[in-house]
Amino acid sequence: MTHGILSEILDYANRANPYPLYEELRKTPVFHDGNGPYVISTYYEIQSLLHDPRLSSDARNLAATAGDPLAEGGEGEAMALPPSFLKLDPPEHDRLRRMANQPFGPPHSPRRVDGMRDDLRSIVTGLIDNLGDPGRIDLVDQFAYPFPVTVICRLLGVPREDEPRFHAWADTLAASLDPDPDADPAERQRKTHDSRMELGMYLAGLIEERRKQPGDDMLSQLAVGQGQSESMSTMELLSTAALLLIAGHETTVNLITNGMLTLLRNPDVLERLRRDPALAAPLVEELLRFEPPVQLLPQRTPLVDIEVRGVTIPKGSSMWLILASGNRDPQRFENPDRFDPDRPDIQHLGLGSGIHSCFGAPLARLEAQLALTELARRLRNPRLLEDPPPYRQNAVLRGPRHLHIACDEVRA
């Protein structure tokens, strides 16, 4: 039965609404079918494990991957780069994340994200201005995808004339995360490999330029180790830059797209946001609980035998933490299947928790708040043209591949 439920979660037929499956999963908080991964689906257990130093994110600690359909792959291995800090444990994780954080956020760069607010608003305005025919808008291709890629380019210091190249690489690498059964796997692999190599070579050249002539962008500060007693190697810097591009971009795309889909299904909340932009902050937190952009964390393993809800999970076993299930756990949230931005105490798992909590969370929050507020303000009478929309194949980074909407007009 357990294996059947896991297969159903991965089955594209259930991508539009996996939540009934998660409800069934929670009946047995620790699932294991004797061959596949140990699956944790309840809020308090997930929250505890995310803070447990006995749990590893380093795939090298897995005893075996047999029976785990999500155990392989990742941005580091495919690029022939060292793993990003997302896939490392302390002390390596702490060293790299600490260096990456210095030019990005508090305490060393407390105004980095907030200082981008005007630039973010300008990008949002330009994208909405160019939506074209209000009778048919693809909110993913025309807005939710290009927005965060442009932001990351500005953050890293990619010259504006090179942004179209970055967009193309990001689109190809994002597509590689969606296993399309109709695509030629050899051709997909070739395109992905070529894009990764081109991106890596481009970033390596950019890093060398920044080391010679640093600017005030994040890549310059990382390249010269500004204000730091240690510095990243070129390979570590390439891996970190790739992580920022892929992981940050993908989650933000899903957050914005899932957010607009949820608002269009809850027009009363959409109207409230249009009238009261201050609603954006709590609304985004509820979205992170209700429709998290990352549904599950499939690459965890215990460093020693551990016990969860009376079940002993052996050292080296594969573990999945189903964040989206924990976010709908009725033991933690009242009426968990109801979207309610007025919900008190929204301590969700949507951005993870513990040492691997989302590195780009402050920026993702701000991007989503500005994007959804402006869409609510400027689109008059927006409505879905297809519900449910077509979803991406990926079960981990879950979100619509297209979101076709219409509106009466795009307000100035």
Q: Which amino acid is at 204?
A: A
Residue range 155-164, pLDDT digits in tens: 888 888 888 8
Confidence of residue 91 (pLDDT cuts 50, 70, 90): very high
Least confident of 125-129, 199-203, 272-276, 388-392: 199-203
| Ramachandran angles phi, psi of 312, nearest 5° | -85, 125
- Distance, CA of 41 to chain centre: 19
**Dihedral class, residue 391 (left if φ above 0, else alpha if ψ from -120 to 50, else beta):** beta
Q: Are strands 38-40 and 30-31 parallel, antiparallel or unpaired?
A: antiparallel
Mean pLDDT, all residues of the chain: 89
Query: d(Cα 150, Cα 367) in Å, to the nearest integer?
Result: 11
* Share above pLDDT 90 across residues of the chain, in percent, rounded to a whole number: 59
Q: Are 203 and 242 in contact (CB under 8 A)?
A: yes
Q: What is the model's pLDDT at position 143?
A: 97
Q: Is the pLDDT of residue 225 over 90?
A: no
Q: What is the model's pLDDT at position 153?
A: 86
Least confident of 57-71, 170-184, 315-329, 377-391: 170-184
Least confident of 60-64, 181-185, 190-194, 288-292: 181-185
Q: What is the model's pLDDT at position 177?
A: 58
Query: d(Cα 75, Cα 291) in Å, to the nearest integer?
Result: 24
- Per-state percent for the chain, helix, strand, coil, to nearest 5: 50, 10, 40
Query: d(Cα 164, Cα 306) in Å, to the nearest integer?
Result: 48
2-410 is a CATH 1.10.630.10 domain: yes
Helical ranges in 213-322 per DSSP H: 218-224, 234-243, 249-265, 267-275, 280-290
Tokens 């780069």 belong to residue: 81
Residues with Cβ within 8 Å of residue 111, at least 6 apart in sequence: none
| Ramachandran angles phi, psi of 399, nearest 5° | -175, 160
Q: What is the model's pLDDT at position 227?
A: 57
Tokens 């933690």 belong to residue: 332
Q: Is the pLDDT of residue 297 over 50?
A: yes
Q: What is the model's pLDDT at position 169?
A: 81
Tokens 């259930």 belong to residue: 14
Q: What is the model's pLDDT at position 77?
A: 40
Q: What is the model's pLDDT at position 78?
A: 40
Burial 166-192 (b: 16+ CB within 10 A, else e): beebbbbbbbbbebeeeeeeeebeebb
| Ramachandran angles phi, psi of 158, nearest 5° | -70, 125
Higher pLDDT, 192 or 370: 370
Confidence of residue 1 (pLDDT cuts 50, 70, 90): very low
Residue range 247-267, pLDDT digits in tens: 768 889 999 999 999 999 999
